[in-house]
Structure 1
Amino acid sequence: MAGAAMLSGCSHGPQTSTHPLPGIDVTGKASLREHAANARLLFGFAVNTAQLRSNRSYRAIVEQQASIIVPENAMKWRALRPSMDRYDFEDADSLLTFAEKNRIKLRGHNLCWHQSLPDWFAASANAADAHRLLVDHIRTVAGRYAGRMHSWDVVNEAINTRDGRADGLRNSPWLRLVGTDYIEIAFRSAREADPAALLTYNEYGLESASPDGAEKRAATLQMLRRLKQRNVPVDAIGIQSHLHAPSTQGAGPELLRFMASCREMGLEIFLSEMDVSDRDLSAAIDTRDRVVAEDYRGFLNTALQERRVTAVLTWGVDDASTSLNAEQPRKDRLAQRPLLFDSRYQAKPSFASVRDAFDARLGAAPARAAAPSTFRLPRL
């Protein structure tokens, strides 16, 4: 497929900066993969399995830049469970084959979520069988790939303080059908199925300095502490890191305090789904690219002060594949430019910002607090 992929749903087609990064090498030792490794980090993308199969330009970027990947959809319930009694592993298997062939680590996303459930779930799942459905799914899926995964997002987005519960839990189908212990059940089932993978709780909005962000951080810590007190096998926290340019709500000190609390519980930290929405910026491409790059740099320079952060992933490879055009469309209907590569697979200023942030971490002073003995270094 040609590099200039069309942007569906956008009236202006592909957009490319007049100054992408001319003459700058972004491969080999100049790649994000190499700069991340030097800073004791893994770097990668959420990937689309169809694009990996059919788009050589897309695939080349992943092969050149990534030391870790996560599927956008291929391991969600809707993709894996066409019916209650049948699994479809074709895309998930092909993704693992690609990762292993290219010596790229693979994160699984996800084993338990309130969204992306197959249509049959609402019609068939009930309080009598939901516990069995959850456990069987996790044993089947995580067990199939046991020993071959870097990590699993075991439970995704279980906190929603606006639902009004004292514990902050989201009023999800799993909560209603299984009960408050569904999170513990999921993690214990995942550990039984795969003793080697890092088991992760993944959440959005933790980086925001807004009142909602503060409430979500508090509720998340409360949940994680409760799980750790019960010796539930939670190994890592995924901070999704969906940012909005210009960034006026980055948590800064509050985020660092949150990550320090996670460190004290022995958790590894992943920046698991980074992107920077330019929905509220002016139409000028060069201006948008500059502000987005500044937000990547500022956020990472803050977050990477915490040495327990061991992986950084963007949610998508290139601007043409971003989900933000559907989820957060611009009023002027221009395509968003939230990622590190444009729609023609050219590196943008945000690429340089991320690479510089990795280099800045490499040269920074050691973390103030010593890591507890239970901490495992990232699997580079």
Structure 2
Amino acid sequence: MSFDRRELLRYGLLSAAGAGLTSLLGCGPKVSAPASKLAPVRDISGQWSLRAVAAEHRLLTGFAVDPERLKDHRCASLVKQQASIIVPENAMKWGALRPARGRFRFDQADTLLTFAEENHIRLRGHTLCWHRDLPAWVTAINSADDARNQLVEHIQTVVSRYAGRMHSWDVVNEAVEVKDNRPDGLRNSPWLQTIGPDYIELAFQTARMADPAALLSYNDYGMEDETYDAEQKRSAVLLLLRRLKARNVPIDAVGIQSHICACAQYGAGLQRFMARVREMGLQIFLSEMDVKDREVNRQDPRRDTVVAQTYSQYLNLALAEPAVSAVLFWGVDDGQSWLRYEQGSDEQARPLLFDRLFLPKEAFYAVRAAMEARSEIVRTSL
């Protein structure tokens, strides 16, 4: 079987810096009995790291990372040990890169790229076009031509700077909002208001011209569970993807953010959605995984078990889909999770794989077991 460069990036066979091929063979024999029948191996290094287990199943895995957090050697060491791919949590958003019109600030983004390349970790870019985290000078734009020019300049400058060194880009993030009641399902964002619906196509076309090799992704949330709202969101996203494919817009993947909830159910709706995405020839990234545990009683000693079971149920479902090629978690440890702030003050949130001391939780072992259990049918179909 032969691969083009984007396929090599997908499977982790080519470094983000183009340094050459690396083996995806396992580091040694693994137990073959189902994970549910055995106590989990407590070693998380080497062949038992998430990075190694994911590679055996042709998956990339890793975390959203804040460059400042890498100054903590415990965090940096854990990322090196466990991640085959990372994504900036904020360092490549407009708010971080664009302090003023005509100015770019790349120090944090450059730091993350250097760390990734020095440690043979691939890097995703997040995000080139989003309705949030826009500097005030951008939201003040009221001319269609000016907005179009600024979007193009931003994407050309940023993507060109890192061309040939990135695994993928979230080109457009969260462009669908069913509740805005547009026939096309699009969010009534500043970009749509100033440029019109074709801002999405413009963003993808500009990104492809700036880097022909990186995988280009559409990323969104709220598509995961079995509710009416999630089904409506899935339908609207599929409508957008079909429009883009019909117009030959260069899109390679869909990011399902996977901010999942410990109280939700996941099943056939998500499976159908992923199958439709695969039929369009697109890859799938589980791009921002964590488990919202606010509904779990803070005094319940089984709290971490509930979170782990949620990861297990969701990933056993999602990883049965052969188009899934990457699993990323939105943060390294509980102490820095966005859920401590985004959902109101919640200092006790425990949504990730590692606790505040960077020790593995039940969730880590559940995720690793789900990756180990990925069906042989999926492995061979890739």
Query: Quick check: 1:289 aligned with 2:307?
Result: no
TM-score (norm 2): 0.87
Cα distance in 1 for partners of 2:111, 2:347 equals 34
The answer for the alignment partner of 1:66 in structure 2 is 83
Give, as a single letter, the amino acid of the residue that structure 2 aligns with 1:314: F
The answer for the alignment partner of 1:249 in structure 2 is 265
TM-score (norm 1): 0.88
Query: Quick check: 1:83 aligned with 2:100?
Result: yes
Q: Which runs of 4+ in 1 moved over 4 A?
A: none
CA deviations on 1:112-150 (whole Å, 9 max, x unpaired) are 000010121123453230000001100000010000000
The answer for the alignment partner of 1:41 in structure 2 is 59
Cα distance in 2 for partners of 1:50, 1:178 equals 35
Cα distance in 2 for partners of 1:125, 1:63 equals 44
The answer for the alignment partner of 1:147 in structure 2 is 164
**Secondary structure of the residue that 1:153 maps to in structure 2?**
strand
Match of 2:361 among 327, 334, 348: 348
Note the C-alpha offset of 1:245.
1.0
CA deviations on 1:203-227 (whole Å, 9 max, x unpaired) are 0011121111001100000010110
The answer for the alignment partner of 2:69 in structure 1 is 51
Note the C-alpha offset of 1:22.
10
**Secondary structure of the residue that 1:130 maps to in structure 2?**
helix
The answer to whether the Cα contact below 8 Å between 2:141 and 2:147 also exists between their aligned partners in 1 is: no
| Cα pair distance change 1:104/1:137, threshold 3 Å | same
CA deviations on 1:172-208 (whole Å, 9 max, x unpaired) are 0000101110000000000000000000000001112
The answer for the alignment partner of 1:325 in structure 2 is 340
| Cα pair distance change 1:303/1:341, threshold 3 Å | same
Cα distance in 2 for partners of 1:221, 1:22 equals 38
Cα distance in 1 for partners of 2:92, 2:344 equals 26
The answer to whether the Cα contact below 8 Å between 1:240 and 1:272 also exists between their aligned partners in 2 is: yes
Cα distance in 2 for partners of 1:133, 1:214 equals 34
| Cα pair distance change 1:353/1:147, threshold 3 Å | same
Uncovered stretches (5+) of structure 1, i.e. residues with no partner? 1-20, 372-376
The answer for the alignment partner of 2:319 in structure 1 is 304
Query: Quick check: 1:366 aligned with 2:381?
Result: no
Match of 1:181 among 198, 207, 218: 198
The answer to whether the Cα contact below 8 Å between 1:268 and 1:309 also exists between their aligned partners in 2 is: yes
The answer for the alignment partner of 1:92 in structure 2 is 109
| Cα pair distance change 1:93/1:295, threshold 3 Å | same
Give, as a single letter, the amino acid of the residue that structure 2 aligns with 1:249: Q
Cα distance in 2 for partners of 1:175, 1:229 equals 20
The answer for the alignment partner of 1:221 in structure 2 is 238
Note the C-alpha offset of 1:334.
4.7
Higher relative contact order (CA 8 A, sep 6+): 1
Uncovered stretches (5+) of structure 2, i.e. residues with no partner? 1-38
Give, as a single letter, the amino acid of the residue that structure 2 aligns with 1:346: L
Give, as a single letter, the amino acid of the residue that structure 2 aligns with 1:50: E
CA deviations on 1:216-268 (whole Å, 9 max, x unpaired) are 1000000101100110000000000001113x332x11111101100010001
**Secondary structure of the residue that 2:291 maps to in structure 1?**
strand
Cα distance in 2 for partners of 1:285, 1:354 equals 22
Query: Quick check: 1:238 aligned with 2:251?
Result: no
Cα distance in 1 for partners of 2:123, 2:142 equals 30
**Secondary structure of the residue that 2:205 maps to in structure 1?**
helix
Cα distance in 2 for partners of 1:189, 1:355 equals 37
Cα distance in 1 for partners of 2:367, 2:138 equals 40
The answer to whether the Cα contact below 8 Å between 2:169 and 2:215 also exists between their aligned partners in 1 is: yes
The answer for the alignment partner of 1:17 in structure 2 is none
Query: Quick check: 1:201 aligned with 2:218?
Result: yes
Query: Quick check: 1:169 aligned with 2:182?
Result: no
Give, as a single letter, the amino acid of the residue that structure 2 aligns with 1:132: N
| Cα pair distance change 1:286/1:30, threshold 3 Å | farther
**Structure 1 vs Structure 2 CA RMSD:** 1.7
Note the C-alpha offset of 1:286.
3.5
Match of 2:48 among 21, 24, 30: 30
Cα distance in 1 for partners of 2:189, 2:106 equals 26
Note the C-alpha offset of 1:327.
1.3
| Cα pair distance change 1:160/1:25, threshold 3 Å | same
**Secondary structure of the residue that 1:141 maps to in structure 2?**
helix
The answer to whether the Cα contact below 8 Å between 1:44 and 1:314 also exists between their aligned partners in 2 is: yes
Give, as a single letter, the amino acid of the residue that structure 1 aligns with 2:338: S
The answer for the alignment partner of 2:11 in structure 1 is none
The answer to whether the Cα contact below 8 Å between 1:329 and 1:336 also exists between their aligned partners in 2 is: no
Percent of aligned positions with the same letter in both sequences? Answer: 57
Cα distance in 1 for partners of 2:244, 2:181 equals 21
